[in-house]
Structure 1
């Protein structure tokens, strides 16, 4: 039995109470549909029905099921045949008419393999000549996902943390932690991601500092089904595992690479330990989706962030010593930032943080001159391809800084900066000037000199 607050269901065999929802009607007939929402689990089939009253044959009528617009139906039936030309793309091959009772004015739409995107309102439309009637039905989709998976980092004495993850839920589930007495515990953070199938991944973090804690449970609950899944972690057992006594070491200094170069992210266990049977995960902010996941001797493709697909290679020739290197090809500005390298085994993980600085050294500088009236001149200096935001200066022949007149920095589609800066020259004694643009990450500068005496 599945329930929505105040409403009871029994799968697709739910009893229907009917309500008339007419937008426009003829003098001869109307249409009725279910007043109650229909609750269907992800992956099941749904049957949506509506009935003409008084009962009459719909064989020669135009009948449609649609979501928001009649012009793009879920499915159309006209004069005895299905019409699929304008059918919504996501329903092609997934829907069919159940026409057993069409002579009695009953039209049932069957939707196979229900997905989260099917959640919402549907309209049943009957038309005869210039008259039409419609009824609305509500389809509620629910997905009961995986049981929570709890991982532990560090020790209770040092203020370790527990991370609870689960996937495959719809709609967004509720998550809470409780101690052995059943008391709720304060969550440090929660994170939800809806994947391409519309299902939710949830990640909840709990900081533990109470040395008396023996067990902690994570509970994931569906707000629609009123069902929950629970997992419990035994802290004392986890503290005795192999990984609890190890550390993960990463670079002590930030890594700097140029745009277009390959990135090398290396981390290792200390003291040395064989990581062949461990899960190693490189992530940005959250565990899922990941930059790359290594498990059972190979990379796992299904959990990878879209922007890293096809760009990563794992170097694992020293895995028996606990050392792995992730190569990321063709560094871009979006790769800039912090990474975390996680080693995990038996529900315990340790991690190291890696800082990556991506630098874009721009094009050669181009200076052009515009003559203004009254002896004033404006010089323009241009350059493309800088990252992060560069520092721009004009200098005289002695190297002294000259106040610039204007500066405009814009991003291109790759996140690189385009620089336009101008200098207004009013003093005719200034005959040589230099435009310079520098990148603070690589302490690198590009310059271009301009001589007014040549003009």
Structure 2
């Protein structure tokens, strides 16, 4: 950022916009650009052009390309030199001014390797002394993704479930199913997920009751490019494959793991079958991105969710029997929930669900005196590191529950809960209470007891210790003087 001696940053910004607002739009200085939106595909380069009218050299003018704010330009050129101090970070190293026509007032900005984030409106701004002129143009970015892949799950009571997936689309595409006669079919679910690069992943599910139907098609359509991609699946053919007759078995009970421990997610084929040539995928709610993908004997890193990168290890020593275990290192609260384990071959998959419960048994409660007034005492019980949300109770000497004055549960950045609960005690001469914090389904709790007599005794010993230290210091000083 550029420093302006003697001026605050807000003052500089205000002055800049004041100048912009008070500049005169010259009657003989106009800027024109393309009359229609500029269409470009993801990954290609594009030229944004604008022309100064009447034609005159722009070599010594300030030429600024910007998006929403002139103060953070995409590109800025002043007196024949590129100015990079205020440039938007995402355009550094990706833009170049083409100066072939600058002597006639024609400028072109080349943007390399177009991304979905480049989509939208741009402004081309000329400034010459107190006169300025600008025009806007629209850049439409489009991405034609992969051909859809249709996976089939073996037939069940409700029919055959088909899942159509595709990646790499921009903007958000349209999706539809058709039967062999070209009639539209109604999907039971449809999900659009935008990945880290801004491209869309699509996953749509269809249930076909008539399994004797010859074929079903899935189409993905890009409305900007007016182009589509489609795939077709033959249900009778897929029902004859090896995997259609197998089942995937997972744990029958929830998997319980404490925060920081390693997670073991095991699933296997029944009856036993060699899974070396199959794709095995552990996922959360959608097929992509995944927790872990095994394919062609290796881990497919490009399809992994960001939060699991570097945290998964595949145990495949029994893969020839169809058994695989995914180890997820150092369990986090965010790992809690349901997983699906899918075996796939020849576009047919079978799956099992796994329920993972992550628990964090927090610190022992700490009871402190927060205040006293009019014969009453306020106690606070606090503890850190709990997951999921714990159950908090105050109890008296007989074990009876005492309603709290207030209770606050806050979840930190790591997903663990901090507990604070307050209790007003009216008869402070007989204070003897317990604060209990527990995870009900775990059957474990941590508690602390507060007794007024113990509290007084603690104060007495602390006072005695301080007096002892003061006495020792005084004796030491007397000895030095003597």
- Taking structure 2 as the reference length, the TM-score comes to 0.86
> Does residue 348 of structure 1 match 2:348?
yes
The answer as to whether partners of 2:436 and 2:445 remain within 8 angstroms in 1 is yes
Alpha-carbon offset, residue 220 of structure 1: 0.3
Q: Which residue of 1 aligns with 2:38?
A: 38
Q: Which residue of 2 aligns with 1:7?
A: none
The answer as to whether partners of 2:377 and 2:428 remain within 8 angstroms in 1 is no
Q: Which residue of 2 aligns with 1:179?
A: 179
Alpha-carbon offset, residue 24 of structure 1: 5.1
Q: Which moved more, 1:362-371 or 1:109-118?
A: 362-371
Residues 304-352 of structure 1: per-residue CA shift (max 9 Å, x gap): 1111111111111111111111111111111111011111110000000
- Change in CA separation of 1:231 and 1:397 when aligned onto 2, cut-off 3 Å: same
Alpha-carbon offset, residue 402 of structure 1: 2.8
Q: Matches of 2:376 and 2:247 in 1, distance apart?
A: 65
Q: Matches of 2:30 and 2:324 in 1, distance apart?
A: 69
The answer as to whether partners of 1:190 and 1:205 remain within 8 angstroms in 2 is yes
Q: Which moved more, 1:221-230 or 1:156-165?
A: 156-165
Q: Which residue of 2 aligns with 1:10?
A: none
Q: Which residue of 2 aligns with 1:122?
A: 122
The answer as to whether partners of 1:254 and 1:355 remain within 8 angstroms in 2 is yes
Q: Which residue of 1 aligns with 2:463?
A: none
- Taking structure 1 as the reference length, the TM-score comes to 0.91
- Change in CA separation of 1:122 and 1:422 when aligned onto 2, cut-off 3 Å: closer
Residues 338-390 of structure 1: per-residue CA shift (max 9 Å, x gap): 01111111000000000011111110121223553332223222211111111
Q: Matches of 2:330 and 2:74 in 1, distance apart?
A: 43
Q: Matches of 2:423 and 2:25 in 1, distance apart?
A: 73
Q: How do residues 214-363 of structure 1 correspond to structure 2 at under 5 angstroms?
A: 214-363=214-363
Number of matched pairs: 433
Which one has the bigger strand percentage? 1
Alpha-carbon offset, residue 425 of structure 1: 2.4
Tell me, what secondary structure is at the counterpart of 2:301? coil
The answer as to whether partners of 1:24 and 1:134 remain within 8 angstroms in 2 is no
Tell me, what secondary structure is at the counterpart of 1:372? strand
Q: Matches of 1:425 and 1:128 in 2, distance apart?
A: 76
Q: Which residue of 2 aligns with 1:372?
A: 372
Q: How do residues 137-176 of structure 1 correspond to structure 2 at under 5 angstroms?
A: 137-155=137-155, 158-176=158-176
The answer as to whether partners of 2:49 and 2:107 remain within 8 angstroms in 1 is yes
Residues 24-70 of structure 1: per-residue CA shift (max 9 Å, x gap): 52143211111211111112221111112121122222112221222
> Does residue 191 of structure 1 match 2:191?
yes
Q: Which residue of 2 aligns with 1:25?
A: 25
- Change in CA separation of 1:453 and 1:100 when aligned onto 2, cut-off 3 Å: closer
Q: Which residue of 2 aligns with 1:48?
A: 48
> Does residue 69 of structure 1 match 2:101?
no
Q: Matches of 1:438 and 1:48 in 2, distance apart?
A: 62
- Change in CA separation of 1:351 and 1:24 when aligned onto 2, cut-off 3 Å: farther
Alpha-carbon offset, residue 406 of structure 1: 2.6
The answer as to whether partners of 2:29 and 2:132 remain within 8 angstroms in 1 is no
Alpha-carbon offset, residue 274 of structure 1: 0.7
- Change in CA separation of 1:102 and 1:368 when aligned onto 2, cut-off 3 Å: closer
Q: Matches of 1:422 and 1:29 in 2, distance apart?
A: 71
Alpha-carbon offset, residue 206 of structure 1: 0.6
Q: Which residue of 2 aligns with 1:208?
A: 208
- Change in CA separation of 1:374 and 1:273 when aligned onto 2, cut-off 3 Å: same
Structure number with greater Rg is 2
Alpha-carbon offset, residue 408 of structure 1: 1.9
The answer as to whether partners of 2:247 and 2:351 remain within 8 angstroms in 1 is yes
Tell me, what secondary structure is at the counterpart of 2:87? coil
Which one has the bigger helix percentage? 2
Residues 384-441 of structure 1: per-residue CA shift (max 9 Å, x gap): 1111111122222232323333322222222212122233323467453222111113
Q: Matches of 1:428 and 1:91 in 2, distance apart?
A: 67
Q: Which residue of 2 aligns with 1:57?
A: 57
Alpha-carbon offset, residue 294 of structure 1: 0.8
Q: Matches of 1:370 and 1:182 in 2, distance apart?
A: 73
Q: Matches of 2:114 and 2:369 in 1, distance apart?
A: 65
Alpha-carbon offset, residue 155 of structure 1: 1.1
Q: Which moved more, 1:185-194 or 1:442-451?
A: 442-451
- Change in CA separation of 1:437 and 1:46 when aligned onto 2, cut-off 3 Å: same
The answer as to whether partners of 2:159 and 2:211 remain within 8 angstroms in 1 is no
Q: Which moved more, 1:28-37 or 1:212-221?
A: 28-37
Q: Matches of 1:159 and 1:266 in 2, distance apart?
A: 27
CA-atom RMSD in angstroms: 1.7
Q: Matches of 2:81 and 2:421 in 1, distance apart?
A: 67
Q: Which moved more, 1:137-146 or 1:27-36?
A: 27-36
Q: Matches of 2:119 and 2:375 in 1, distance apart?
A: 70
Residues 94-153 of structure 1: per-residue CA shift (max 9 Å, x gap): 222222222221111122222211111111111111111001111111111110000001
The answer as to whether partners of 1:259 and 1:333 remain within 8 angstroms in 2 is yes
Q: Which residue of 1 aligns with 2:382?
A: 382
Q: Which moved more, 1:267-276 or 1:109-118?
A: 109-118
Q: Matches of 1:156 and 1:365 in 2, distance apart?
A: 51
